[in-house]
Amino acid sequence: MKPEFRTCPDSGLVFHRPAENLIKANAIAATIFLAVGGLLGLLVALTRWPAVQLLDAAHFYTVLTGHGVVLLLVWILFFEMALLYFCSAVLLRSRLATPRMGWLAFGLMLVGASITAVAILQGGSSVMMTSYVPMPAAPHFYLGLILFAVGALIGTFIFFGTLVIARDERTYEGSIPLVTFGALTAAIIAVFTIACGAIILIPTFLWSIGYISEIDALMYRLIWWGMGHSSQQINVAAHVAVWYAIAAIVFGARPMSEKVSRGAFFLYILFISIASAHHLLGDPGLSTEWKIFNTSYAMYLAVLASLVHGLTVPGSIEVAQREKGHNKGLFEWLRKAPWGNPVFSGMFLSLVGFGFIGGISGVVMGAEQINFLIHNTIYVPGHFHGTVALGTTLAFMALSLWLVPILFRRELIWPKLAMWQPWLFGIGTALQAFFMMGAGTLGVSRRHWDMAFAGSAFEWAYPGMAYTMMALNGISAIMAVAGGAAFVIVIVGTIFFGKRKGAIEYSATRPEMLRGPAASLSGHGNIGLGAKGFPAPGTFVLAMFLLLVFVVYYFVNYGYLASVWKFS
């Protein structure tokens, strides 16, 4: 047998060489696209800052299309491929299934992303990430996306294959770890997502080259959002898995209850696939019953899942901290957390930001009638910068700051810069989300070059506060991009210039079977905390605070809605 496995002396993780190489390749591609997408984002924000308005209209729409495609699809999916390989081959101490197909997947994704990028740069495909028909893009815009999706699908099946191999070759004992279970959730949603993408993008490609005469606008939106939103649900499942992983890595935290956490992931699989509905609440042609049932993910059962993770992730950290003796009062466990460690601070900012900003705003604007106040305003990008940038991207950054030194066996360069990175990026994106949501509440449109309507036959002025908010958004974007740049510099610098941590040696022997801890070590019965089975009282108080904000904000919006014109 070839020497293909190494055990990391620092982390104890076992790397299968082909898996390791694929993780490196996908993570590096992800980082490069993150850098590109972030710079495009800066141009967008500086153009929407009314006093600056950096780009002209044509360039603005081109750059905005690129920003959306590169960050919402390309960066995220490359990283998720790395994550899937990590959660299967590495966490399960298994060999990776069909590494050559992994390189095919990587190549297809790279070629596909490049083709679409070229189409966008050529200027004839400034159709936004959503490419709503009948606005046409160049055929290779769709073709590149299709190739990219095929690559991602292959990668997803390699993940499934690796799970089968690990089980078959008995590389682990009992059930797969919770983090792998979360990755499995993400992968299952990914299959549904990519299927939706294929069902709509292939006919649209054929339409663009003239083989199909018409694509119905509503059907396009319905199925496209089966991809467009579900792909963000892959992110949710993936970044929740990353939260659990970081809680385990930094604190040695155990899941409070395997049953509850896995059950919550399972709710994602069952109900999140109806995600296209809340994008269509202001559309003609769909029944009220359909809208209500689907926008709520069947009675908000997927939202319930996120609320559960919102308790159990910090709850498991609280229990671990209290077991270490940080047991005073409600919040000593949080005060004594390692705030200077970017792996933790990034994860925790991601958790809090996703809950309070991305989560609450998303559910509130997804309520059928409130959506009329929000639809297509810049509130929407405000919301999803709270979920995708602050939630997913920051969680992935935090994991990378831990994983890259282990993968490359090098020390992180510039630890001070790394320490500040999550704060710069996290606070910058949080402020951006906040200001965009504010401007959207005042009516400012998303995807709009000039809020002063230059060149129109009419005049209309938004309130001065809306202009101020868009300027503040620009300033916040500079901060966020500085944080993103710090991440890219630290990661790239570490890969090339980090101090080596000793030779990398591979062994021909199979690693030992992965075992869970002794059963006596789990359960929280005996740490002498708050009575009546409340081992994480601080987290419970924080969760109740989130719920309070949620409820108040929900009814404030319905209250405002009640004051506008009547319509039925």
Partner 1 sequence: MTAIHPPSHKVWWKQPVDRVEVVWIGIALVWCLIMFFFMPFWHVFGDQNYSGEAYRVTPERFNEKVNELVEQYTVRYETDRQIPVVRPPAGSDIYLLARLWDWYPILELEKGQTYRLHVSSVDWQHGLSIQPININFQVLPGYEMVLNITPTEVGEYAVVCNEYCGILHHAMLSKLYVVESDRNGEPQS
- Do the Cβ atoms of 343 and 249 come closer than 8 Å? yes
Q: Closer to partner 1 at the Cβ: 256 or 477?
A: 256
- Provide the minimum distance between the beta carbon of 60 and partner 1 in the complex, in angstroms, as a whole number: 9
Q: Closer to partner 1 at the Cβ: 368 or 420?
A: 368
- Distance of alpha carbon 347 from alpha carbon 317, whole angstroms: 12
Helical segments of 4-98, H only: 17-48, 57-68, 76-85
Q: Closer to partner 1 at the Cβ: 201 or 370?
A: 370
Residue 483: partners with Cβ closer than 8 Å, 6 or more residues away: 420, 421, 422, 423, 424, 425, 426, 428, 429
- Do the Cβ atoms of 478 and 42 come closer than 8 Å? yes
Helical segments of 296-414, H only: 297-323, 332-335, 342-353, 360-365, 371-374, 379-384, 394-408
Task: Give backbone dihedrals phi and psi of 500, rounded to 5 degrees, phi first.
Answer: -65, 145
Task: Give backbone dihedrals phi and psi of 217, rounded to 5 degrees, phi first.
Answer: -65, -40
Rounded (10°) angle between helices 537-561 and 297-323: 150
- Provide the minimum distance between the beta carbon of 494 and partner 1 in the complex, in angstroms, as a whole number: 22
Q: Closer to partner 1 at the Cβ: 325 or 523?
A: 523
> In whole angstroms, what separates CA 125 from the centre of its chain?
25
- Provide the minimum distance between the beta carbon of 386 and partner 1 in the complex, in angstroms, as a whole number: 19
- Distance of alpha carbon 353 from alpha carbon 427, whole angstroms: 9
- Provide the minimum distance between the beta carbon of 339 and partner 1 in the complex, in angstroms, as a whole number: 21
- Provide the minimum distance between the beta carbon of 484 and partner 1 in the complex, in angstroms, as a whole number: 25
- Provide the minimum distance between the beta carbon of 68 and partner 1 in the complex, in angstroms, as a whole number: 11
Instruction: Return the bridge partners of 16, or none.
Output: 5
Q: Closer to partner 1 at the Cβ: 408 or 550?
A: 550
Q: Is 96 helix (H, G, I), strand (E, B) or coil?
A: coil
- Provide the minimum distance between the beta carbon of 245 and partner 1 in the complex, in angstroms, as a whole number: 6
Q: Closer to partner 1 at the Cβ: 416 or 566?
A: 566
Q: Closer to partner 1 at the Cβ: 504 or 513?
A: 513
- Provide the minimum distance between the beta carbon of 252 and partner 1 in the complex, in angstroms, as a whole number: 6
Distance (Å) of CA 163 to CA 156, 236, 326, 333, 447: 11, 21, 38, 36, 42
- Provide the minimum distance between the beta carbon of 530 and partner 1 in the complex, in angstroms, as a whole number: 8
- Do the Cβ atoms of 37 and 74 come closer than 8 Å? yes
Instruction: Return the bridge partners of 514, or none.
Output: 172
User: Which class for 35: exposed (0-12), middle (13-18), buried (19 or more C-beta within 10 A)?
Assistant: buried
Q: Closer to partner 1 at the Cβ: 339 or 372?
A: 372
Q: Is 16 helix (H, G, I), strand (E, B) or coil?
A: strand
- Provide the minimum distance between the beta carbon of 61 and partner 1 in the complex, in angstroms, as a whole number: 7
Q: Closer to partner 1 at the Cβ: 36 or 245?
A: 245
> In whole angstroms, what separates CA 376 from the centre of its chain?
21
**Number of other residues whose CB lies within 10 A of the CB of residue 42:** 21
- Provide the minimum distance between the beta carbon of 509 and partner 1 in the complex, in angstroms, as a whole number: 21
Q: Is 518 helix (H, G, I), strand (E, B) or coil?
A: coil
- Do the Cβ atoms of 153 and 195 come closer than 8 Å? no
Q: Closer to partner 1 at the Cβ: 448 or 501?
A: 448
Q: Closer to partner 1 at the Cβ: 108 or 272?
A: 272
